[in-house]
Amino acid sequence: MKPVKKILLGFILIFLIVQMIQPARNIDYGQVPSSDISKIYQVPQKVQSILKTSCYDCHSNSTDYPVYAYVQPVSSYLENHIQKGKKELNFNEWGLYSQRKQTNKLKAIANQVKQRKMPLPSYLYLHQDAKLSKEKVEEIVNWIESLPTEK
Ligand code: HEC
């Protein structure tokens, strides 16, 4: 066998072996938990649907995984974002946050979407539907401003 072929075969083998190492999945088959943000505030249908489509994949206990998310090294790359995102903000666990933390997180959400830092740009390449139009940003910001929080 030619050396080039050997090297290529080596890479394919490594690629296949690496596929067996898969991170634990962020999937919760239960119902919407009582600590979900939608149980704490009146969340308008429109806003809820924007959050679900654009944020919940990284900021909740349940990710809607695309097929390519099962292929390494994409798998680990995505899981890292999910774990980091969840740690910062988890819409499913909103009710477990202190009043102060809730107020701060609401401000952070408004800032992140206004500055277009969220959803993560890398996520938007393959999730066009998660892109926030000007109207959607306004929808989120207006809703946050309407909430009865300590200011
Ligand atoms: C692809 C995953 C992903 C998506 C989708 C996503 N985020 Fe994030 N988010 C992260 C990660 C990762 C962090 C941790 C900080 C960082 O790496 O920038 C984060 C951090 C945050 C923070 C914390 C900032 C702070 O200072 O407290 C807020 C707020 C936030 N995201 C809001 C949102 C909102 C709102 C959406 C939807 C419009 C969204 N994110 C969509 C991954 C994501």
For residue 1, how far is its CA from the centre of ligand 1 (angstroms)? 49
For residue 8, how far is its CA from the centre of ligand 1 (angstroms)? 38
Give the three-class secondary structure for 115: coil
Q: Whose CA is nearest to atom 37 of ligand 1?
A: 55
Helices (H), the chain: 3-18, 37-40, 45-54, 74-88, 99-114, 121-124, 134-146
140, 50 contact by CB (below 8 A): yes
From the list 38, 66, 39, the residue with the least C-alpha distance to 52 is: 38
* pLDDT of the residue at 32: 87
* pLDDT of the residue at 12: 95
For residue 28, how far is its CA from the centre of ligand 1 (angstroms)? 20
pTM of the model: 0.90
What whole-number distance in Å separates Cα of residue 138 and Cα of residue 57? 21
* pLDDT of the residue at 151: 52
* pLDDT of the residue at 31: 83
One digit per residue, the tens of pLDDT, for the chain of length 151 reads 889 999 999 999 999 999 999 999 999 887 888 999 999 999 999 999 999 999 999 999 999 999 989 999 999 999 999 999 999 999 999 999 999 999 999 999 999 999 999 999 999 998 999 999 999 999 999 999 999 775 5
Residues with CB under 6 A from ligand 1: 54-55, 57-59, 81, 84-85, 88-89, 105, 108-109, 112-113, 118-120, 123
